[in-house]
Amino acid sequence: AGHGGALNGADGSPEMAAAAAQAERALIDERRKQRVRALGSVLRSAASVTIFSIAGVTILGDLGINLAPLLASAGVVGIAVGFGAQNLVRDYLSGVFMLVEDQYGVGDVITVGDATGTVETVTLRITRLRSVNGIVWHIRNGAIETVGNESQGWARAVLDFPVPYTADLTTIRTLLADTVAGMWNEPVWRTVMIEKPEVWGAQQVDMTPPPTVTMRVVVKTAPLRQWEVEREMRARVKAALDTAGITPASALVS
């Protein structure tokens, strides 16, 4: 809800205000849904274990088996098994802390080690991811030491445009600002942009022939929407540069 101020643009038009409100509601609702799915997945897992355990004890009791010595011996066995199942206990504890701290949930895009993908299932023991290539990763919760979440709060679209070293950077900066401002003022794009795009300007100077200056534009977006914003913004900036007659540096090499 903290994005409300940023979402309400300075123009104050009804369309922009409606788009901003829609974006804010979408962010909050999506996060709630992800958390509910994650909790539901874990609760189903815990409920299954509890139900089967109670059913097993009940069936043994109905069969006339004396449970007192069985439970006493189970306690001794449980201690022995506990030493050999430390990783399992660690997995479960890590799963509990993951849920309590809301580190990630079903539907989030996360990176764990070499695996990056969308979280499909979360249990107290494992997390299952599916990569963009369709690869399914099964990761023990206890083995997760560092996790990067691309779906929480906001994302950032970052676009770099190399321009000729001899170009007028002030003119290009103005062109970039006008182009991205056009997207910001369209309701369809305001629903996925959290803040007005910013032109950070020259980020790098490369004197390797042909010499170039890299100009950067950034914008905060709703989670996982940065890529579509980048694609649209890249196409618009390319068209604006073409219209202004600004030739790519590579085209200047004979």
pLDDT in tens, 12-48: 567 666 666 666 666 556 666 666 666 676 677 667 7
Domain membership of residue 174 (yes or no) is yes
The residue among 57 and 112 whose pLDDT is bigger is 112
Indicate whether 59 and 109 sit together in one domain.
yes
Q: How many CB atoms sit inside 10 A of residue 186's CB? A: 14
138 and 34 together in one domain: yes
- The residue among 176, 180, 173 whose CA lies nearest residue 221 is 180
pTM of the model: 0.61
* 211 shares a domain with 143: no
Among residues 95, 124, 149, which one ends one of the domains? 149
The answer to whether position 13 is within a domain reads no
Residues 78 and 112 both lie in one domain: yes
- Top pLDDT among 183 and 16 is at 183
Total domains present in the chain: 2
Distance CA 119, CA 41 (A): 12
pLDDT of residue 38: 64
Q: What's the mean per-residue pLDDT of the chain?
A: 80
Domain boundary among 149, 176, 205: 149
Out of 149, 183, 212, a domain closes at: 149
User: Which residue did the predictor score with more confidence, 187 or 152?
Assistant: 187
**75, part of any domain:** yes
Range of the domain at 207: 154-244
Q: Is the pLDDT of residue 7 over 50?
A: no
Same domain, yes or no, for 53 and 82? yes
CATH number of the CATH domain containing 94? 2.30.30.60
CATH classification of the domain holding 224 = 3.30.70.100
Question: Is the same domain home to 79 and 162?
Answer: no
183 with 233: CB under 8 angstroms? yes
- Are 143 and 158 members of one domain? no
Q: What number of CA atoms fall less than 13 Å from residue 20's CA on the CB side?
A: 22
Each residue's pLDDT tens digit, 78-109? 665 555 567 777 887 888 788 778 888 888 89
134 and 169 part of one domain: no
